[in-house]
Structure 1
Amino acid sequence: MSLSLLKRDVEIASHKAYVSKMDIIMEEPKSIQKIRMLSPVTAYSTLDDKRTVYFSPYNHDFKRIIRDNLIKKYKAFYKKNCGNDMDFDIEIASDKCTKVISNYDGFIIEGWMGDFVLRGNQELIKLAYDAGVGGKNSQGFGCFKLI
């Protein structure tokens, strides 16, 4: 798709469009960064009997699961462990946090839309910005914009 955008005419889902202008915005997140979810953030755990339990941002396990997921992404991407100074935290920034239930390929996925604040190591926050925050990023979950 990215090469398609270099052409003047593009087709997305059988709809033709004309690209008149394209801008690339390079934003760098801060160590304390307010974000707005563009797709739901999801935090979950799979139990021994293969059931999936989803956690809301109001549950104390939500922060731990989001952080642990980001640490795994860091290890996979950089091929090294995080240092002791790699702190990270996520919290709700407003009371407008909304639960979203999605059906992805026959599986029910619970996620949350709204504004959050990320705090911690800037490198981890940048990785969350680039790769997505929370789980199911390859299915489109966890995308956000800086606000």
Structure 2
Amino acid sequence: MKKALLSSLLLTLSFFSFAQESGKIHAGIYHGGIIGQVGIGTNFEKKNFGELRFSASDIVNYPFNIEGYFNRNYIQSDWYNIHAGLMLGYSFYEDIRFGLPIGMTFKPIKEHRQFGILLEAMPNYFLGNPNLRASIGIRYNFSN
């Protein structure tokens, strides 16, 4: 438990130093199945961006999860970005998880490109089993 908390703290500190360098941060709310997530990340308009996501479940006594996403935008336009990357996470069930997220951020409002809708699929592995998670959510880029 102490190792997990220390690792989470170090990951968060390095993440925020990277976010300051990128000039913008974004926040998001995502839903996939029974697990909701809130996230904070670096500018999703950059070629490479990262995000920390935390579980936000409405299930009583659901274990807390933290996941780090490291993505690369492969296709970028005014209307959408398509990205792929790597997810590394930890659950307080004391299992480590990893996955390969593939997603699209759709920016539907021409005058307000900071707002995006995320559609994401991720083959992942945790609790000794491979599975596929699909997520949908909203995200917003904030300026410094």
Question: Higher relative contact order by CA 8 Å / sep ≥ 6: 1 or 2?
Answer: 1
| Between structures 1 and 2, the one with greater helix share | 1
TM-score of the superposed pair, with normalisation by structure 2: 0.29
